Structure 1
Amino acid sequence: MIDKTERDAGMPVLANRRQFVLGTAAFMACAALPFPSFAATNAAQQIADHFSSVKTMMGEFVQFGPRGEQTGGKFFIERPGKLRFNYEKPSPMRVISDGKNVVIGNTKLKTWDLYPLSKTPLSLLLADRIDLGNKLVRDVKEEADLTTIVLGDRTIFGDSTITLMFDPKNFELRQWTITDVQKKDTSVMIFNVQNGVQLDPSVFEIPYAEVHGQKRGG
């Protein structure tokens, strides 16, 4: 059940917590990469290789939910395995991975959901090298003003797909859209991306005392 505080804060209402993690993973998969010329399956792997080579990254994002709800914030990434998404106020949501686990937290309600990183799509996308494999590429389209790559894998994403949209002139990412099992779209636009930045280790610290000490079912 989605808490009213989360709903009022502009937090996109997704099918479940796993779907939210999936959206986060998709966001990282397409962050501001140069786009090379390609044949279909080689294209996605080249993008993944470029992304894998970027060891640290930070920037801003705006997210649009399936009902038109909007929120934004900042993201931080460090390979292997670390990330943080801070949603801007009034949203209280945080997503943190420390290389072993991923937590989705509501800082206002002091509630946290904990997942092993290895059980989420983030383990693939935060690896030292991202091996997409041909089975991930469902479609590639090249048009005069837009290059689109659709990725999906039932073993990782279920029946969901991720659509990455790039500007073919300057090779920059325009946006990504995730279509969930209910055929609902959540889109993210990114901007002010910086690669190769130095990030404080505390950015990726999970507050385990709060996670394990929270009250359940109250």
Structure 2
Amino acid sequence: MMASALLAPTAMAMVAAPVPAFAQASGDLAAVQRHLQSVQTMTADFTQTDRAGKVLTGTLTMKKPGKIRFQYEKGVPLLIVADGGALTFIDYSVKQVQRWPIKNSPLGVLLDPSRDIGRYAKVVPSADPRLLSVEANDPKHPEYGKITLVFARDAAAPGGLMMQGWVALDSQNNRTTIRLSNQRFGVPVDDKAFRFNDPRRSAARN
């Protein structure tokens, strides 16, 4: 299921590396930490691609700590929203609502600037020095899946990095790729943006 790959819970662990590589990785992780702490609000366009190649688009709105909204394109009856406490996936076509604690979601790394990324992530080697990828997963719980965040090195961006998106892989090898564009930082974001209409309430009234 698309939502399982995008939202599957994960506890993230550091993986050991040779000393020189470790030193470089530590610097890169520190850069990622600076970026995550620098960004308090963000809006962006996103493109989502699943394992079957199905593509959906929409807009992302984020406000730290703990708030994010994936508003899909018109005609797509899906919504993903975090209100500061729980991450919720809504499918309006079947009136289904699923919830996860934000801290147990891969997206938790984006939404809690106080977390030490060096404790639960590792740098993935890249052939392109302009890119920086950080992988998070828990080898003790493969059922939680894996997420890889991708950044472009950009001195003008917060913390010197521009988030390009991420790739999430669940235990059934269902892959979901999110690509971001038109990123805007420090924009005013009202908390009302993270509210949603619960389809179960309308169903109960019918």
TM-score range, shorter chain: 0.7 to 0.9
Alignment correspondent of 1:26? none
1:67 maps onto 2:55 in alignment: no
The equivalent residue for 1:19 is 5
Task: State the partner residue of 1:126.
Answer: 111
C-alpha RMSD of matched pairs (Å): 3.1
Partner of 1:111: 96
Matched, 1:50 2:41: no
Q: Deviations over 1:166-195 (max 9, x none)?
A: 445775444432232233422121101100
Is the 1:41–1:134 Cα contact (8 Å) retained in structure 2? no
1:50 counterpart letter in structure 2: H
Gap change, CA 1:94 and 1:51, over 3 Å in 2? same
TM-score, normalised to structure 1, is 0.70
Q: Which residue of 1 aligns with 2:201?
A: 213
May I ask how many residue pairs the two structures share in their alignment?
A: 186
Change (3 A) 1:42 1:214: farther
Structure 2 residue identity aligned to 1:178: A
Deviations 1:112-157 (A, max 9, x none): 2233334433444311323123452163334356444333234687
Aligned pairs for 1:185-200 (under 5 A) are: 185-200=175-190
Deviation at 1:99, TM superposition (A): 0.7
CA distance in 1: counterparts of 2:106 and 2:93, whole angstroms? 26
Q: 1:41 and 1:152, CA in 2 relative to 1: closer, same or farther beyond 3 A?
A: farther
| 1:101 and 2:86 matched | yes
Larger relative contact order (Cα-Cα within 8 Å, sequence gap ≥ 6): 2
Structure 2 regions of 5+ residues with no counterpart? 10-22, 156-160
Inter-partner Cα distance in structure 2 for 1:157 and 1:52: 28
Given that residues 44 and 183 in structure 2 are in contact (C-alpha distance below 8 angstroms), is that contact kept between their aligned partners in structure 1? yes
Note closer, same or farther for the CA distance 1:92–1:156 as it changes in structure 2 (3 Å cut): farther
Partner of 2:61: 76
So what's the TM-score if we normalise by structure 2?
0.73
- Paired with 2:202 and 2:140, the residues of 1 have a C-alpha distance of 32
Superposed CA offset, 1:4-49 (max 9, x none):
xxxxxxxxx43xx4433249xxxxxxxxxxxxxx811331232133
Contact 2:25 2:123 in 1 (8 A): no
Structure 1 residue 203, shift from structure 2 partner: 0.4
* Cα separation, 2, equivalents of 1:57 and 1:156: 31
Q: Distance in 1 between matches of 2:131 and 2:40?
A: 27
Identity over aligned residues, as a percent? 24
Aligned position for 2:128: 143
CA contact under 8 A between 2:8 and 2:170: conserved in structure 1? no
Aligned to 1:183: 173
Residues 98, 206 of structure 1: 8 Å contact kept? no
1:85 is displaced (CA, Å) by: 0.8
SS of 2:188's equivalent? coil
Structure 1 match to 2:13: none
Amino acid at match of 2:70: F
In structure 1, list runs of 5 or more residues that go unmatched: 1-12, 24-37
